[in-house]
Structure 1
Amino acid sequence: MASAAWANWKTTAAPWTVGVEEEVMLLEVDGSPAWRSEDVLRVMPDELSEHARGETHGLALELATNPHATVADATAELRTMRAGLAATVRSLGLRAAVAGTHPLVTAEEVEVSPGARYQFLHQSLRELARREPTFALHVHVAVPDAELATRALNGMRAHIPVLLALSANSPFTRGRDSGLASARTPVFQAFPRTGIPREFDGYAEYVESIDLLIRCGAIPEPTFIWWDVRLQPKLGTLEVRVMDAQTRIRDTAALVALVQCLVRCEALGTCAEPELAHAPEVLDENRFLAARDGIDAQLLDPHRDRRVPASGRLATLVDACWPHARELGCERELQLLAHLAGDPGAARQRAIASEPAGLRGLLHTLQAEFSPPRPQLALAA
């Protein structure tokens, strides 16, 4: 086992639990950005502030649930936290919303948060820290030990393009249609240490690859690695980070269920598909195609020398996940994937923005959908 103290793997008596982290944007009533995360954190009730923190940019907050045995419980907590944040920001005359990007913000107006971590980022990344803000969905799944987690990490690399395609929810940036389903992806990739990680022979090799950067002073600690999927030893989890934040909680629930099932499947070695491509150049190209075209992407299949629809690959993954969904109690949420694939975030945003109110109308819709009065997690919703 690697000797780096940060690499000690936290074991848990309850493997496969899930935790959700959601990045939220703060808005003025008219939808313009509100660079007031510190103000919001100061007035936040204690029970919510324990689960919230600032982000790189002053209009962003992250909400983080506790670990839960079921996706239903995790998303129920997220719904409660959204409601609490909505009430908090309203007390300041503000609003909150979720999407992969703010459709109108430009880098020139970005304000970096005052916290020490974010000022360090500004110092080390220079003007890259002032890129347009992005908002992601991160899902943690507890894995019993480090070697199983490394096996799952290696396997999850092949699923990154489908997860990105399905979650794409950021077509607009700088007030324009980017032509992409996930503009968040290339914008965030301006940061170093992003993208799909390489394959690792075992946990010791994973630890050494990161500890080398720490020893040489490139990064202060492991969370400055922003790969699409990474290990979190102090939590005992594998963290999937590639997905755009979802406007609707029912879509979040569907994605969390898929991630939970896939991580368990890959860790236990029960969903290996020989035809899945792990070659870095193929994965990187498919990642780009997923960001560009979303669930309509045609992904490279080098084994057949042709392209295959991302939707077809999703169907195959869901079939492999059903036995795990039954074990984990997330069948209902896994079924919601069909709704998300049929009504993806990027297409919804474009449809709303095509109305006379344009992007301002879209921002008002995003506000309205942040914490609606009725629960959204329903199969008929």
Structure 2
Amino acid sequence: MAEANSTAPWNRLLDEARERFEAAEDFTVSIEEEFSLLDPETLDLVNRFEDVQAAAKGTALEPNLVGELIASEVEIKVGKQASFADVPAAIADRRAELAALLERLGLAFGATGTHPWAHWRDQRIIDTPHYRRNDELLQYVVWRNNTFGIHTHVAIRGADRAVRVTSALRNWLPELLAVSASSPFHEGVDTGLHSARTQVFTRAFPRCGVPDPLQSWDEHAEYVRFLYETGSVDEHTQLWWSVRPHLAFPTVEIRICDAQPDVGEAQSLAALMVSLTARCARALDEGEALPVQPPRLIEENMWRAIRYGLSGDLLDLERGDVLPARARIERLIEWVLPVADEIGATPWLRLPEQNAAERQIARRAEGASLEEIYAEQVRTTVPAPG
């Protein structure tokens, strides 16, 4: 390992991040949703992000709208919310604001984990220093990443505690993916997967997927420091783990989930992710034993979630049982309920009869075209008025 340099900027970054975690207010929340920008007639992806960004200037949406890799994508943030109780309305409001903005530009938007037929060669990476650098570093890996997700940020007080919450959340990443799976079609192919997005992104990017379990901030900082000192990264966001402590905010960020076409399901998924994060923190506070599974075992469940989503089975890694994914997730919801009540998430905790991947696969089996199926998903992205 390169010799440590106490004056290096990454050491300052780590010190400041630790201070923010120590001062954080537990369980404030933000949600980020990635949407595809579409031609409203053909539903093809369109490279119009810069137009959307310009149109947002001076509106309520401006501080909550950012670019995300390709010019046919936009990310919308709900902003920091004091508790989960404020999140569902914020998700609906942001989607409605985006819909109104895009309508003025003659555009639409979608929210499945992949676009069903668009090809990566037709997408343009946006011209920012961050994405130019990722383009330079990752080449084909980043060019192929035309995917869309939903991320949660939950503030956790205490740097060591945040790292331990991150390690606990690793165990349930496959369950969250199974609930959220929405991307069975990619580049015109019926992939046979429920989450092609995860296969395209998580299986391709470096420093991605299920992280090792860590138990202290010092362990995490040592690894981040190693990456900087060896020239492996030059931005902290180049740790693309499916769950991570975020160094710019005092939050634990869950990044595993496919984007949600249905606004109600986005709200419900956010409730589960936030409740699970808070439940892990409470368990640590109360001395409740939490499993520490090795990545190789979690990856077995991850593959099951990618391939079969909510329709398949998942492993109970503690008992060695194989259970329907729905049963695993129902157990998980039962476990998080005490904290869900506390943070106002319980009314939103529910499993859909079918998730987005299952709906699309069923319609394909009935003979519907990719265009018809995608149009049905797009119609659910904006909440009904009133």
Q: State the shift of 1:210 in Å.
A: 1.4
1:328 aligned residue (343, 346, 357): 343
Cα offset, 1:174, TM superposition: 1.1
Residue 184 of structure 2 is aligned to residue 171 of structure 1? yes
1:36 aligns with 2:51: no
Distance 1:62 1:309, change over 3 A: same
| Cα offset, 1:81, TM superposition | 1.6
Deviation of 1:96 (Å): 0.8
Q: Is the alpha carbon distance of 1:169 and 1:273 closer, same or farther for their aligned partners in structure 2, counting shifts above 3 Å? A: farther
* Alignment-derived partner of residue 105 in structure 1: 118
Secondary structure of residue in 2 paired with 1:151: helix
> Aligned pair 1:286/2:293, yes or no?
no
Q: Does 1:130 align with 2:151?
A: no
1:364 Cα offset (Å)? 2.1
CA distance in structure 1 between the partners assigned to 2:145 and 2:369 by the alignment? 20
* Whole-angstrom distance in 2 between the partners of 1:219 and 1:114: 20
Are 1:295 and 2:310 counterparts? yes
Q: SS of the residue aligned with 1:269? A: helix
**Contact residue 71 and residue 253 of structure 1 kept, 8 A:** no
- Gap change, CA 1:355 and 1:43, over 3 Å in 2: farther
Consecutive unaligned residues of structure 1, counting only runs of 5 or more, are: 376-381
Moved more, 361-370 or 3-12: 3-12
Give CA deviations for 1:263-291 in whole Å, capped at 9, x if unaligned: 12212326988695612211011111111
Q: 2:194 aligns with which of 178, 181, 201?
A: 181
Q: Which residue of 2 aligns with 1:309?
A: 324
Report how far residue 15 of structure 1 moved: 1.1
Tell me which moved more, 316-325 or 210-219: 210-219
Q: Once the 2 structures are TM-superposed, how far is the Cα of residue 193 of structure 1 from its aligned partner? A: 1.3
| Aligned residues of 2:91 and 2:267 also touching (Cα < 8 A) | no
Q: CA deviation at 1:233?
A: 3.3
Match of 1:26? Answer: 37
Q: C-alpha separation between the residues in 1 aligned to 2:267 and 2:134?
A: 31
- CA distance in 2: counterparts of 1:87 and 1:263, whole angstroms: 33
Structure 2 residue corresponding to 1:211, chosen from 193, 211, 225: 225
How much has 1:234 moved relative to structure 2?
2.7
One-letter amino acid matched to 2:264: R
Aligned to 1:143: 156
1:170, 1:97 → 2: CA distance?
Answer: 12
How many correspondences in the alignment?
Answer: 370
Residue matched to 1:343? 354
5+ residue gaps in structure 2? none
Deviations 1:57-86 (A, max 9, x none): 111111111121333422212221211211
Are the equivalent residues in 2 in contact too, given 1:277–1:301 (CA < 8 A)? no
Alignment of 1:233-312 (within 5 A): 233-269=247-283, 278-312=293-327
Aligned to 1:379: none
Q: Which amino acid aligns with 1:115?
A: T
Q: CA–CA distance in 1 between the matches of 2:111 and 2:225?
A: 34
The equivalent of 1:378 in structure 2 is none
Q: Residue 275 of structure 1 contacts residue 303 of structure 1 at CA under 8 Å; is this kept in 2?
A: no
Distance 1:346 1:321 in 2: 25
Aligned: 1:370 with 2:377: no
Partner-residue secondary structure (3-state), 2:27: coil
Residue identity opposite 1:206 in structure 2: H
Measured against aligned partners, the alpha-carbon deviations of 1:11-53 in whole angstroms (never above 9, x if no partner) come to 4563111110000100012101111111111111432121111
Q: Distance in 1 between matches of 2:358 and 2:288?
A: 30
Q: CA deviation at 1:206?
A: 0.6
The farther-off stretch of 191-200 and 259-268 is 259-268
| C-alpha distance in structure 2 between counterparts of 1:120 and 1:372, whole Å | 37
- Match of residue 13 from structure 2: 6
CA distance in 2 between counterparts of 1:68 and 1:309 reads: 34
The residue type paired with residue 82 of structure 1 is R
How far 1:137 sits from its partner (Å)?
0.6
CA contact (8 A) 1:282 1:300 kept: no
Q: Secondary structure at the match of 1:343?
A: coil
- Cα separation, 2, equivalents of 1:14 and 1:305: 37
Amino acid aligned to 2:35:
V
Q: Which residue of 2 aligns with 1:57?
A: 70
d(CA) in 1 for partners of 2:332 and 2:34?
26
> 2:43 and 2:181 mapped to 1: Cα distance?
21
* 3-state SS, counterpart of residue 361 of structure 1: helix
Match of 1:361 in 2: 372
Distance 1:158-1:303 versus aligned 2 partners, 3 A rule? closer
Structure 1 distance, partners of 2:302, 2:176, is: 9
- Can you list the C-alpha shifts for 1:285-308, whole angstroms capped at 9, x where unaligned? 111111111112322345444422
Cα deviation, 1:331-366, whole Å, max 9, x if unaligned, reads 1012xx23x2x2211011223445665111223223
Where does residue 215 of structure 2 map in the other structure?
Answer: 201
